[in-house]
């Protein structure tokens, strides 16, 4: 969809052009002289800053090209996958220059214009920057294959998502601390880490917010009138309104607010920019893109390195200290199983020789449902502001719950599932209020399609397989309709397209099933815990395997009731701390 740039300030335009210049320079499509001359002509940066940026990017480009040409046979740490957690981990781990790190990423760099411009995030979905996975058809979602978008590029999901920075609820972290029997995973411990992580641009809070950290986050800048109208609608309906999406909400458990985003000067500030770029000019960090990790090399139950494919060649690299998996909730369990780590009977059934019996590898899959169905026509096509999703709210459908189970997000686009779009035919000027299910009781699993590492895994997501999930989603849909049809929204929502009327019984259930899409927050498939069945322990070590750890969404024992990017960054930071303590 073509984007309207009328609301961009001159500063936003210059920032966008400057970022594109930096990306072109990094890719090698323009030289240093042209970069400096064009940057000075733009006038966005001072002359001294232009030369500093040019020098930094030149060092990154030169260093990484040299490092890749002469890959070593061994590194202290080999990190597989360059998503949000991996960026935080490698950035922290490599900062002092004393440890050698090889970071292997299956996708490419994060320099496409559609990555840099947060308003274009959805145009990355279904491209080479997306793994393109989908769940197996299920009667619980009317036999649809639900597409699940995960990032296949530097920065992972932080490079293609809707830029929302949302931190978990207190009960989320305290549950993790309980199941791991380790208070370092508790909310109070996590809060101190988030204060260090953030470079918060809003009202200061000594307890909740940090300033000066690597992660830039700000409240949606110059929000659309639609976003402000939705907040007015929520207020009129007596729904709780928070001054900030994070902070107090984490402890009180509910509330609506403008989204907080990783957008700086109109550009996406992903986790690669936040953590990796500052260390990529160092001699101790090697980034290998477009390389596919095929298996973990094991020797008597100890991870010694990894086998990978790059430019058509199979290679093996050794890890002197540890191998760390950061592939996410699908690729990480797949890689473990391909390496003989998983349920031994299942591995034998797919022709893989078992090495370590860990029956829960690939089990416990959880995800958030984003319902694409509640649609209204606006008087004219919405001007797409920020990432197009500027208001988010969390609510408990039952006051006895320890955290919200439903959410609502405003979308300035005709966001709809395939089944809903076909049935109701939204127009380009349609807008959506998306119901969300944040505390799923349904559980899925990840299986191998074949023993070939190039084949994507089989994903049995089992969305809405638990009846409580369907009931909670129906309540969330009802709330969307109540807000969308309110007085405050009438200037923007002039006609309800879908569902168009109150639905009940099986008609409502089918509408809920037809509208199922996902927030693309798959989690839990290598869960952390203190019990014998856990895949990793509280220090993220894979049980039964030496020198192997995991840092990504797969380790979450229970999915947080919010977007998972910030939590993944926290996990990466936590593992960096653990490794630093281990020496």
Annotated binding-site ranges for substrate: 519
Nearest to 545 by CA among 564, 526, 568, 562: 526
Both tokens of 221, joined, read 């800048």
Answer whether 142's CB lies under 8 Å from 135's CB. Answer: no
Instruction: Count the Cβ atoms, other than its own, within 10 Å of residue 425.
Output: 13
SS (H, E, C) 234-277: HHHCCCCECCCCCCHHHHHCCEEEECEECEECCEECCHHHHHHC
Catalytic: 521? yes
H-helix or E-strand spanning residue 518: strand 516-518
Q: Which residues contact 511 (CB under 8 A, 6 or more apart)?
A: 373, 477, 499, 503
Q: Which residues contact 466 (CB under 8 A, 6 or more apart)?
A: 440, 441, 442
* Binding positions for FAD: 293
Instruction: Count the Cβ atoms, other than its own, within 10 Å of residue 541.
Output: 18
Which residue among 149, 368, 371, 521 is the active-site one?
521
Angle between helices 170-180 and 187-197 (to 10 degrees): 120
Nearest to 573 by CA among 83, 87, 81, 75: 87
* Binding positions: 293, 519
Three-state SS at 370: strand
Cα distances (angstroms) measured from residue 159 to each of 120, 162, 245, 271, 368? 11, 9, 21, 8, 19
Residues involved in catalysis: 521
């Amino acid at each position: 969809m073509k984007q309207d740039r009328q609301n961009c300030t001159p500063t936003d335009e210059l920032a966008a052009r400057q970022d594109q210049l930096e990306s072109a320079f990094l890719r090698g499509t323009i030289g240093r002289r042209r970069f400096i001359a064009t940057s000075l002509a733009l006038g966005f940066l001072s002359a001294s800053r232009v030369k500093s940026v040019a020098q930094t990017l030149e060092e990154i480009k030169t260093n990484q090209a040299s490092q890749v040409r002469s890959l070593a046979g061994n590194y202290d740490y080999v990190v597989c996958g360059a998503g949000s957690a991996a960026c935080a981990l490698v950035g922290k781990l490599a900062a002092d220059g004393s440890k050698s790190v090889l970071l292997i990423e299956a996708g490419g760099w994060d320099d496409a214009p559609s990555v840099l411009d947060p308003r274009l995030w959805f145009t990355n979905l279904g491209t080479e920057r997306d793994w393109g996975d989908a769940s197996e058809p299920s009667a619980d979602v009317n036999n649809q294959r639900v597409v699940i978008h995960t990032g296949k590029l530097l920065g992972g999901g932080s490079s293609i998502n809707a830029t929302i920075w949302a931190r978990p609820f207190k009960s989320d972290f305290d549950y993790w601390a309980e199941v791991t029997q380790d208070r370092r995973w508790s909310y109070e411990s996590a809060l101190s880490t988030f204060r260090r992580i953030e470079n918060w641009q809003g009202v200061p809070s000594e307890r909740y917010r940090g300033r000066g950290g690597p992660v830039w986050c700000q409240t949606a800048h110059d929000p659309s009138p639609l976003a402000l109208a939705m907040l007015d609608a929520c207020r009129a309906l007596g729904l709780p309104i928070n001054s900030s999406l994070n902070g107090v909400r984490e402890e009180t458990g509910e509330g609506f607010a403008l989204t907080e985003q990783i957008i700086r000067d109109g550009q996406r500030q992903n986790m690669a920019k936040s953590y990796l770029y500052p260390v990529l000019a160092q001699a101790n960090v090697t980034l290998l893109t477009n390389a596919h990790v095929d298996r973990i090399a094991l020797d008597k139950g100890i991870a010694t390195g990894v086998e990978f494919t790059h430019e058509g060649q199979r290679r093996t690299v050794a890890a002197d200290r540890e191998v760390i998996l950061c592939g996410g909730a699908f690729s990480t369990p797949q890689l473990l199983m391909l390496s003989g780590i998983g349920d031994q009977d299942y591995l034998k059934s797919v022709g893989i020789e078992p090495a370590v019996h860990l029956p829960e590898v690939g089990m416990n899959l959880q995800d958030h449902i984003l319902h694409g169905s509640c649609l209204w026509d606006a008087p004219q096509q919405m001007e797409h502001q920020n990432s197009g999703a500027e208001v988010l709210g969390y609510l408990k459908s039952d006051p006895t719950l320890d955290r919200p189970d439903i959410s609502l997000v405003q979308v300035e686009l005709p966001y709809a599932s395939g089944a809903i779009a076909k049935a109701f035919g939204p127009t380009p000027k349609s807008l959506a209020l998306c119901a969300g299910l944040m505390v799923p009781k349904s559980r899925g699993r990840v299986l191998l399609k074949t023993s070939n590492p190039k084949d994507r895994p089989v994903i049995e997501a089992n969305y809405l397989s638990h009846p409580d999930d369907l009931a909670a989603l129906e309540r969330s849909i009802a709330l969307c309709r109540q807000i969308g049809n309110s007085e405050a929204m009438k200037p923007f929502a002039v006609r309800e397209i879908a569902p168009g009327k109150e639905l009940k019984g099986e008609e409502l259930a089918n509408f809920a099933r037809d509208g199922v899409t996902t927030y693309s927050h798959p989690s839990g498939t290598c869960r952390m815990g203190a019990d014998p069945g856990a895949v990793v322990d509280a220090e993220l070590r894979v049980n039964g395997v030496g020198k192997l750890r995991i840092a990504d969404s797969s380790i979450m024992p229970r999915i947080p009731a919010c977007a998972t990017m910030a939590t993944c960054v926290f996990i990466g930071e936590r593992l960096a701390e653990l490794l630093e303590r281990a020496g």
